[in-house]
Structure 1
Amino acid sequence: MNADRILKSEPDWFGAALALVEGLQGQPTLDRRVDVLERVCADLGDALYPGFAKLLAAVAHFGDPEVKALVADTLAQALLTARLPAARVPAWGAGGFSGLGGGGPLLSNSRKVGPLEFLCVWLVRDIADAPLDAEAFETAATYLLDLVGASPKAAALYIDKLRADASDPTEGLHNAQSRRLIEVLAERWAAGDPPAEVARAVTRAAEADRGVGRFGLPLR
């Protein structure tokens, strides 16, 4: 499964999701299934990481409960073993991917970010070819939360990861806005809110932050 096949102008997300699930089902262990996820993510690369998030969202959209549980259990193993398929995005203040071609050098001042965190960062920072609006964020985040939530273990591990990211003042990925978003995401998810309500709470937090100036003064 390569980027050219997944990211056409009108991608066949059903076919891509089916291929991913079949690839996972063909593996005898959870660790081998994580290998499949890592390989798919690596084939896409950092600049096309939104395609990986969309692929997971497609599994949630098209998959039945057993399929979603299969992928969620794989994500749980990935989280448990620190192998969550991730993109490398520029650290805060380090710029974007504008200078990277298909074979260009990897930014040295970059951080790894998983699919849910990627969406939160993308909502407030220019880390992809186009901005991510609130509606697109809510759709994608709802699907991803639904998918990960198919495994209570995966959900608990992911919430712990988000909380750890939010409490780390030195890791360099988040500015104040994106840090607040992952805090809201973790809090509302841990409280048991439905995926769509969690996603909406995050966009509301982002909208509130946009209405406040650099020094905490309302913008006119």
Structure 2
Amino acid sequence: MFYRDPQHIYRVTELDALPWLVHGFGTRLADIPAQFAQLATVKQIHSSTCLAAGGRRGVIGEGDALLENTPGGVVAVKTADCIPVLLIDERQKVVAAVHAGWRGTAGRIAAGALEAMRERFATRVEDVHAAIGPGIGKCCYEVGAEVAALFGERGRAHIDLAAENRRQLEEIGVTPSKIYASNLCTMCRAEEFHSFRRDKEAAGRLHSFAGIR
């Protein structure tokens, strides 16, 4: 279950039970970078590329998903309508932060990040928790026919990116009860979230992060 803490960060109750984990989804009022000496991030390019941080800090390359298994390491992605997904391996203590826009979602980036966790760190899918953070909701995300066709729709359509990421994760074996969705629309909730579709170039960015104590 998602809740907002006193620092204006959304967290997941079920993930709070993992004492080694730090995680959260930022809001307009949460200064995530100030809480950590240095985050590991990527130059986001709306791709399906997943990189491993390996304890490094700063911008470590181009891509849209970042893995970490190093104590003290924190990985983060930035969004302003795209869907942030955090993947947590409770057994191997591996985390991933994923930026899933329509291109990344169509390219199955969240599922791809989990596959990378399996290949690099021997993650077992039954040990994985997934948190799907605030992003633009189906209520506000109307797309043209070309994009809609990537999600099995005809003509202009409203697309549910969060639901599609959930479906892809369930399809590769993540336990449905271990997938937590915020169901918070960044475009609807202007008081809490930045939204590129709503605010255009004036939009800020929201940090979503996961790390190992």
**TM-score normalised over the length of structure 2:** 0.29
Greater strand share, structure number: 2
